Amino acid sequence: MSNTNMFQKLDQIESRYDELTREISSPEVLADSTRYQKLAKTHADLSQIVLKYREWKDIEKGLAGAKQLLAEAEDAEMKQMAHEEQHTLESRREAVEGELKILLLPRDPNDEKNVIVEIRAGTGGDEASLFAGELFRMYSRYAESQGWRVEVLESSPSSIGGVKEIIAAIQGQKVYSKLKYESGVHRVQRVPATEQQGRIHTSAATVAVLPEADEIDIKIEAKDLRIDTFCSSGPGGQSVNTTYSAVRITHIPTGLVVSQQDEKSQIKNRAKAMRVLRTRLYEMEQEKQHQQIAAERRGQIKTGDRSEKIRTYNFPQNRVSDHRIGLTLHQLTEVMDGKLGPLVDGLVTHFEAERLKRELSDNGDAGKS
C-alpha cells in the first residue's frame, strides 16, 4: 500500500469514526440497545487507528512549525533547537507510520475470540507434571491481570501435585490475539526437589491455544455423534461417583474423542465436552486451510507449531528465553507469577512486523505483474 493510498484510507476511517461518534450519542440509537451495541463495537474497533492517525497529524503540525522556525531563526542556538526538534519529530513520524501500516493490515478473524488452552506434561516424568501445573498457574495469573475469566474444563492431576493434563477456557476481551503465540513446547531447566546430587534436569510441557469455536463456526450434526456415559473415576482408577455422570463424545466422521467427568452433572459434563469438541473441529478446519495456503506459499502461516520448542525457563539463572524472537529476560520469577506482558508484546510486535513485510512483498510482486 502506497503512502497516498494509506492516508486516503485513514481519512475515510476517521470520517466513519466521527460519524459513529455522532450516531451513538443520538436519542434514536440510545433507545435501540441492539443497534447501539453494534455501533459502539465498531466505534471501539476504529478508535485505536484513529487515535494513532491523529497523533501522526499532530507530529506533522509540529514538523511544519519546526521547519518554519529553522527557516526564520537568526539566533544560532534557536536554529540548533529547531533542528533537533525536527530530527526528533521525523524519527517519531517514521515510527508512527510503521504502526499505522500494521493497524491497517487485515485482522485475524479469530483475534476477538475466547480460547481453550490445553497444557500437557511432556518429557520429564513428575517434574514435567509439576511444570505443567505451574504453566497453568502462570496463564491464570496473567488472565486475572487482564480481567479475563478462567474455567477449568478438564484436569488430570499427578500424584505429586502437578497435572498430567489440564484443559481450560479463558474468556474476555481479545484473548486469542494475546495468547495465540503461546502454542508449542515449553522447556524447563532446574534442580528437581527429589534430586539429591543437585543436578539440573530438563523437562517439558506442551501448550496448545485454540480459538474457541462458536456454534455458527462449526455445525455438528447429532447423527455424527456417539455419546457414552460412565462413572467418574479418580486417581488410580477408583470410582468416585456411582452415577453415570461422566460423558464420552465420539465424532464419528473424524474419530475425535472428548471425555469429561469433572462435574457431578451429566448435562454439565456434556456441555463442556461439546465446547472442547467444537473447538478441536474448528482447529482441524483451520489447519486444512493453512495447509492449502502453505502448499502454495510454504512457511507463511504457522507461528505456533505445537512440536516447536518455543521457550526455555531456566530457574538457576532466573532466565526465560523465547527462541523465536531472541528475547531473554532475567525475570523468571515475575513471569511465572503471570507478568507475561514483555513476552506477549514482543511476540505480537514481531509477528505483526513479519506480516507487514509479507504484505508489502505481495503488493510489490503484484505491481510488477
CATH number belonging to the domain at 3-103, selected among 1.20.58, 2.60.120, 2.60.40, 1.10.3470: 1.20.58
2-16, 29-43, 132-146, 227-241: which has the minimum mean pLDDT?
A: 227-241
Whole-prediction pTM: 0.68
What is the secondary structure of 301-359 as a DSSP string? Answer: S-S--TTSEEEEEETTTTEEEETTTTEEES-HHHHHTT--HHHHHHHHHHHHHHHHHHH
Give φ, ψ of 184 to 5 degrees. Answer: 145, -170
Q: Where in the chain is the domain with CATH 3.30.160.20?
A: 230-307
**Considering only CA atoms, which of 185, 173, 118, 129 is closest in space to residue 322?**
185
What is the CA angle 39-41-150, rounded to 5?
150
Confidence of residue 1 (pLDDT cuts 50, 70, 90): low
Is CATH 3.30.160.20 what the domain over 230-307 is classified as, yes or no? yes
Q: Where in the chain is the domain with CATH 3.30.70.1660?
A: 110-212+309-369
**Considering only CA atoms, which of 239, 236, 261 is closest in space to residue 248?**
261
Give φ, ψ of 323 to 5 degrees. Answer: -75, -20
**Mean pLDDT, rounded, for 319-335:** 95
Q: What is the pLDDT of residue 362?
A: 58
Q: Where in the chain is the domain with CATH 1.20.58?
A: 3-103
State the number of CA atoms in the 13 A half-sphere of 335 facing the CB.
19
> What confidence tens digit (pLDDT) does each residue in 346-362 have?
998 888 888 777 776 65
> What confidence tens digit (pLDDT) does each residue in 290-326 have?
665 455 444 333 343 446 789 999 999 999 999 999 9
Domain spanning 110-212+309-369 has what CATH number?
Answer: 3.30.70.1660
What is the CA angle 112-20-44, rounded to 5?
25
SS3 184: strand
Confidence of residue 74 (pLDDT cuts 50, 70, 90): confident
Q: Which residues, in sequence order, are bridge partners of residue 329?
A: 320
**Considering only CA atoms, which of 332, 347, 308 is closest in space to residue 135?**
332
**Mean pLDDT, rounded, for 78-95:** 91
Q: How many residues does the structure list for the chain?
A: 369
